[in-house]
Structure 1
Amino acid sequence: MAQSRRETDQLKDEMSSLAERVWNDGDVDAIDDRFAHDFVRHTPESLPDIHGPEAYKERVRELRSAFPDFEIDIERTVADDELLLTHLTISGTHDGEFMGIEPTGESIDVPVMSLMRLEDDRVAEEWLLSDSMEMMVQLGVAAYPDEV
């Protein structure tokens, strides 16, 4: 059954609040409230997919350890009955090891797209796309071809 506009707006607000609690505040226990036990996060980049809420919590901890001031800024969210599409920006200062890269002290500001599939009001799957090349350039460990 289709959700009303009010229900959809409430869902967007709840999921945005959850993302901010988890990523901005580091409240990984909030994941238990809204993620399915068989949650999968699909990442087309070099990172392996994440399976389960505990693995997702560990990914949050790893990123927040590498970027202690890590924050997300939600630009826009679009939702329907079971899908939630969010455009956001991640930012932070690289003060800890990240993907084998020693701390650079550089700041990042990178666009990200997240598509979440909900099942029984819980996040069952997420597809994540981020501009990893831009992140590596901002960290000073890569350059665009015309800058080499």
Structure 2
Amino acid sequence: MSDYKALVQEMFRAIAAGGDVDAAVDRYLAEDFVEHEEIPGMDNTRDTPRQLFTMMQTAISDFHVDVHDLIQEGDKVVARVSFVGTHTDEFMGIPARGNPVSINAIDVLQFRGDQCVAHWGVMDMADALAQMGAGPPA
């Protein structure tokens, strides 16, 4: 059995390294990748995480991913993570206020070989938006 937990760690480091999101997505997500998490204004292909992480890197300076837990069962990994940084540019229409932000998420990632083929996830966007000053504290 492959160590998909190590691959998930590697993938999150590559995506959040402030480097090339396109290269990371092309390396870790299969061409036929399916995004099952509904994100407003985005589709269900590997372009969805490409757009989301590009937006996060742009809007959140010192962006990084804190991986709290990884659990592997067969070809799937469950990850409890936080997308962390400082809100320094517009994010989903919310103007920057310089607030620290930590977007908590639970992700289920399915693999085939050394690439992710599907993702199901839940991000705590209500809390994230509140941290950015766009809503009441969660």
| Fold in common (TM above 0.5) | yes
Q: Does 1:30 align with 2:1?
A: no
TM-score under structure 2 normalisation?
Answer: 0.86
Q: Secondary structure at the match of 1:96?
A: coil
Partner residue of 2:128 out of 122, 135, 144: 135
Q: Which amino acid aligns with 1:33?
A: R
- Answer whether contact 2:72 2:78 (CA < 8 A) is retained: yes
Offset, 1:48: 3.2
Q: Deviations over 1:53-112 (max 9, x none)?
A: x44323211110011211110001011221110001121111111111111111112321
Name the structure where helix makes up a greater proportion of residues.
Answer: 1
Q: Tell me, which stretches of 5 or more residues in structure 2 are unaligned?
A: none
Q: Deviations over 1:25-50 (max 9, x none)?
A: 33321222221102122224545344
Quote the residue 1:95 is aligned against. 88
Q: Does 1:121 align with 2:138?
A: no
Quote the residue 1:74 is aligned against. 67
Pair 71,47 (structure 1): closer, same or farther in 2 beyond 3 Å: farther
Q: Secondary structure at the match of 2:30?
A: strand
Partner residue of 2:99 out of 106, 115, 140: 106
Higher alpha-carbon deviation: 37-46 or 112-121: 37-46
In the alignment of these two chains, the number of paired residues is: 137
Q: Distance in 1 between matches of 2:31 and 2:9?
A: 20
Q: Tell me, which stretches of 5 or more residues in structure 1 are unaligned?
A: none
CA RMSD of superposed structures (Å): 2.0
